[in-house]
Structures are given as C-alpha cells and as structure tokens.
Amino acid sequence: MNMKTNLLILLLVSSGTLIAGPRDRDMGLDLTETQKQQMAEVKERSKTRLKAAHEEIQAQAQAEMAEFLTEEQLAKVEEKMARRLERAENRKGHKKRKRKMHRQDD
C-alpha cells in the first residue's frame, strides 16, 4: 500500500466510521437479548481488529517517513502523534463520564 492509502485507512479507522451503529441501541432492529450480546461481541472484535490495523498502519507510515525525514522532524511527528493519542483517550474518558451522568439523570 502507498502512503496515501495508509493515511486514508488510518483516518477511517481513527474516526471510528468502520464500526457501524450506535453503542447502546439496537439500531431499530428489535434485537433479542441474545442478538444484542452477539452484536456487542462482534463490535468488540471489530474494535480489537481496528486497533491492531491502526497500529500497523501507523508503524508503516512512520517507517516510510523515517526514510526521508531528519531525526528531529521524525521526533516531532512522533511527539504530535503521541499528543493526538492522549487527547483522543481524554475525549473517550470524557464521553464515558458524560454518558454515565446522562444515564443517571434518566
């Protein structure tokens, strides 16, 4: 794969668009409890595979960039990626707290 393809896949994976459907609803499918559990398992496996794919693509992109960036430039790229990951993790925690608070209000 070329760098543009890798970056496109990375964007799709990181944005979560490849995991379909709302997390806490049955998407209007009127699922049984068993089906809801099966859907949750599929989503969890997908999430695991997406995370692995994301890590692989990120490593490939860094390896490709290492071929032409200076050590200082590569260090900056890695620093920015680490900050982006940290912000994403903070947002996830915020969303979870917000959802929990919303459920308590119901």
Q: Work out the pLDDT band at 29, boundaries 50, 70, 90.
A: confident
Q: What percent of the chain has pLDDT over 90?
A: 33
Name residues whose C-beta falls within 8 Å of residue 43's C-beta, 6 or more positions apart in sequence: 19, 21, 23
Pick from 26-35, 72-81, 94-103: least confident: 94-103
Residue 56: CB partners within 8 Å, gap ≥ 6?
Answer: none
Q: What value, to the nearest 5°, has the Cα angle with vertex 21 and ends 18 and 23?
A: 110
Between 21 and 96, name the one with better pLDDT: 96
Taking residues 53-74, report their average pLDDT: 92
1 DSSP 8-state letter = -
Phi, psi of 105, rounded to the nearest 5 degrees: -70, -25
Return all residues near 103 (Cβ < 8 A) that are at least 6 apart. none
**Greater pLDDT, 24 or 96:** 96
Average pLDDT of the chain, as a whole number: 78
Q: Which two tokens stand for residue 51?
A: 């995370």
Q: pTM of the predicted model, to two decimals?
A: 0.53
28 contacts: CB under 8 Å, gap ≥ 6: none
What's the distance, CA 79 to chain centroid? 19
**pLDDT of the residue at 18:** 46
Q: What gap in Å lies between CA 50 and CA 23, rounded to an integer? A: 16
